[in-house]
Structure 1
Amino acid sequence: MYELRGVSKRYTRGKDTINALDGIDLTIGDGDRLVIQGPTGGGKSTLLQMLGGLDKPTAGSIELDGTDLARLSEAKLTKVRSENIGFVFQSFNLIPTLTAQENVETALVPLGVKVKDRRERAAEALKSVGLGERLGHLPAEMSGGQQQRVAIARALVKQPKVLLADEPTGNLDESMRDEIMEVLETMWKEYGLTFIMVTHDSSLAKKAPRVATIRKGKITVKENAGA
């Protein structure tokens, strides 16, 4: 479970100080599905990065299962990310010279998984997202939707506790968007993940049980009845 207390993030640009986040309090329970919305540049991705230990707040605490990520060393943060947190990004972030299977395997290398086990687990993860026939394909040989499926498989192959997605359908057309969201929602249910997604797409937000909106550094959270 995440517990955020008094989380602020300030940036300095020249003589100006920008409060991307200003004293945010937020609780995200195990297995929750939360969508984060707000205007461009309003702190959505900043919050997601801090939940993933990729950035630290200027003030406040971000606890994941009782451990304050804001106070961990970079080495310990790397360990937490490697073991507990899966990431899916808008731009896929696949390595172009590696096959789909090899891209997925990269998530298991920091965990010390043996080569044979890495290959087997990567293949199974790709099959679970409908890419069992594409193990040996390079990213350039796949559609955008297929590349995002590879990225999802890479995020989930290590069996994380948390899945963080930053505009995962932002580069996809409407039909592919729906396919990817179906995959993500299926994985959320099957694996019992805590699933947190940043999106500008209001139609996706309406389907989430909880929606957090960030405006001018402040956050409001509402429940979606029937979602």
Structure 2
Amino acid sequence: MYELSGVTKLYTRGKSTVTALDGVDLTIAAGDRLVIQGPTGGGKSTLLQMLGALDRPTSGEIVLDGTDLAKLSEARLTRVRSETIGIVFQSFNLIPTLTAQENVETALVPLGVKTKDRRERAAEALASVGLGERLGHLPSEMSGGQQQRVAIARALVKQPKVLLADEPTGNLDESMRDEIMDVLTRMWKELGLTFVMVTHDSAIAKKAPRLATIRKGRISIRENAEA
């Protein structure tokens, strides 16, 4: 699925250069579930952006299913994101003036899916995350946990191979956190997804089959046979 070789990302801040990723080598097989942890500013979100084709490395290779993302044009990167990768963010990123169903449908518009099919697929996706009766509700009419479920449905409605999640439970209390993790884990299993998640939550990290820790741009991997 993913093969990262010597991935380095440098940012310029004023007169100084910051190394966000420093020669990262990483393999993520199809169907893996990987959790990424580390201190703030250590490179976690930068790595997720690379996996999501949202940013390019300064050097190194990011190969997804045999294609080096770093060498693709912007148009092809957009296509990869639209077809292959679903992303869930901490802040939900829902459009406040659209209903739950309409928010989910937005993921299908770039794929040219017809209106009738978009509506049907969005309704099915919302039902799969337990929101089958909330199709017509606006984000302001839903709890934080429900809004994150909408965001998950939006990420999955296009039937991606990869699901990336950047602190998806960061804005939720403990009970909502557990509910969202149950949804994400169930979707990973049922859909056969490759699932990569960034989190500060040690309770979530302890349950991960694979845990990547990033500190000062360098990565280490630990396998958890009991997860």
Offset of residue 217 of structure 1: 1.1
Tell me the equivalent position of 2:7.
7
Tell me the equivalent position of 2:88.
88
Q: Tell me the amino acid that sits aligned with residue 146 of structure 1.
A: Q
Q: Which runs of 5+ in 2 are unaligned?
A: none
CA deviations on 1:74-102 (whole Å, 9 max, x unpaired) are 00000000000000000000000000000
Is 1:48 equivalent to 2:68 in the alignment? no
TM-score (norm 2): 0.99
Mapped to 2, the partners of 1:114 and 1:216 lie a distance apart of 46
Tell me the equivalent position of 2:65.
65
The runs of 4+ residues in structure 1 deviating greater than 6 Å are none
Tell me the equivalent position of 1:109.
109
Tell me the equivalent position of 1:191.
191
The 5 Å alignment of 1:1-227 reads: 1-227=1-227
TM-score (norm 1): 0.99
Offset of residue 60 of structure 1: 0.2
Find the residue that maps to 1:91 and give its secondary structure. coil
Offset of residue 13 of structure 1: 1.1
Matched-pair identity in %: 85
Offset of residue 216 of structure 1: 1.1
Mapped to 1, the partners of 2:177 and 2:152 lie a distance apart of 13
Find the residue that maps to 1:36 and give its secondary structure. strand
Q: How many residues in Structure 1 have an aligned counterpart in Structure 2?
A: 227
Find the residue that maps to 1:95 and give its secondary structure. coil
CA deviations on 1:42-99 (whole Å, 9 max, x unpaired) are 1100000010000000000000001000110100000000000000000000000000
Mapped to 1, the partners of 2:160 and 2:225 lie a distance apart of 28
Find the residue that maps to 2:53 and give its secondary structure. coil
Offset of residue 225 of structure 1: 2.0
Q: Tell me the amino acid that sits aligned with residue 11 of structure 2.
A: Y
Q: Tell me the amino acid that sits aligned with residue 59 of structure 1.
A: S
The CA RMSD measured in Å over matched residues stands at 0.4
Offset of residue 37 of structure 1: 0.5
Find the residue that maps to 2:107 and give its secondary structure. coil
